[in-house]
Amino acid sequence: MRLKIYENIAPYIGVLRSDINIEGLKREDSSVMSGLYLQWLNPEYFQINSFIYGSGDNFNEPFIGCHIMGDWYIKHPENGKYALGAGFEYLKPDADITEEDAGIVTNTEVKNNIYIPFIRAGRYFIFDIGKSSSLSIFHWAGFQTAITRGSGDITGGPVGGPVAFTADFDIEEETNYGLHGIKLGLNLMHTIDLTFKYKAVFNSDDYFNNIDTMTNFYFTRNMEFLRHKYMEMTMVKLNIQFSELIIHTDIQ
């Protein structure tokens, strides 16, 4: 028997808002972002999702992000299924910030690469609502390592004058975190999907929140997405809002 694989490919465009705190420098910025969403799934066996996105001018530097993960469904009890998952996230939140205060101009440049591999396991609970709607609850736990590699420099001097001081610094961190999350999904009449995801990222020193909401509207074989993502980490806070439109949906 041939396995049915549902395939979705979607470009999207939206707004990236970020707060950054590096070496005591706190700033906010926003920019237009665009990207590509890819999905392959079979509801009985697996689901693979990938987001690739970027912005050409966030804190005067390009911003690049990529997220890919897959869940494999290994057992199907009466009202749900168990899942084992793994994934990887890459972020490049560079910054080039110039400030003037009391006749002194200071420039801060930061180059960052953040790599986040992770694993997780959990259980879906699925409940029918009437004949054509359903509610799903996915409760899971996992583990990740955040690996940061980067460098920066700070230069300054009087306005219109020569550089009076300079300082370089390196960013090299590897931090382990526990993960705990929940996903709530509501499908209404096979036409609208409402999804809410919450993920806690924590260890003995830090606790970060990640919130992701998505609304999917299904029109024949196409879908329209409205999505909001909020993400916290040690050096940068990202608040992503965008809409996306499926341009290709295929069943193989």
188-232 pLDDT, tens digit each:
877 788 889 999 999 998 898 888 887 777 665 555 556 667 766
Token digits of residue 197: 């995801």
- What is the reported pLDDT for 220? 57
How many domains does one find in the chain?
1
CB 115, CB 90: distance < 8 Å = yes
- Domain that residue 132 falls in: 6-251
Residue in this structure with the two tokens 């940068």, named with its chain if needed: 236
In a domain, 68, yes or no: yes
CB 234, CB 175: distance < 8 Å = yes
In a domain, 1, yes or no: no
The domain that holds 102 is classified in CATH as: 2.40.128.130
Angle at 196 between CA 204 and CA 206, to 5 degrees: 10
* Claim: this prediction has a pTM higher than 0.75: yes
- What is the reported pLDDT for 246? 44
**Is residue 221 packed enough to be buried (19+ CB in 10 Å), middle (13-18) or exposed (0-12)?**
exposed
Instruction: Judge whether residue 247 has pLDDT over 60.
Output: no
SS3 of residue 48 by DSSP = strand
14-30 pLDDT, tens digit each:
888 887 766 566 778 88
In a domain, 73, yes or no: yes
Cα–Cα dist 108/209, whole Å? 27
- What is the reported pLDDT for 101? 81
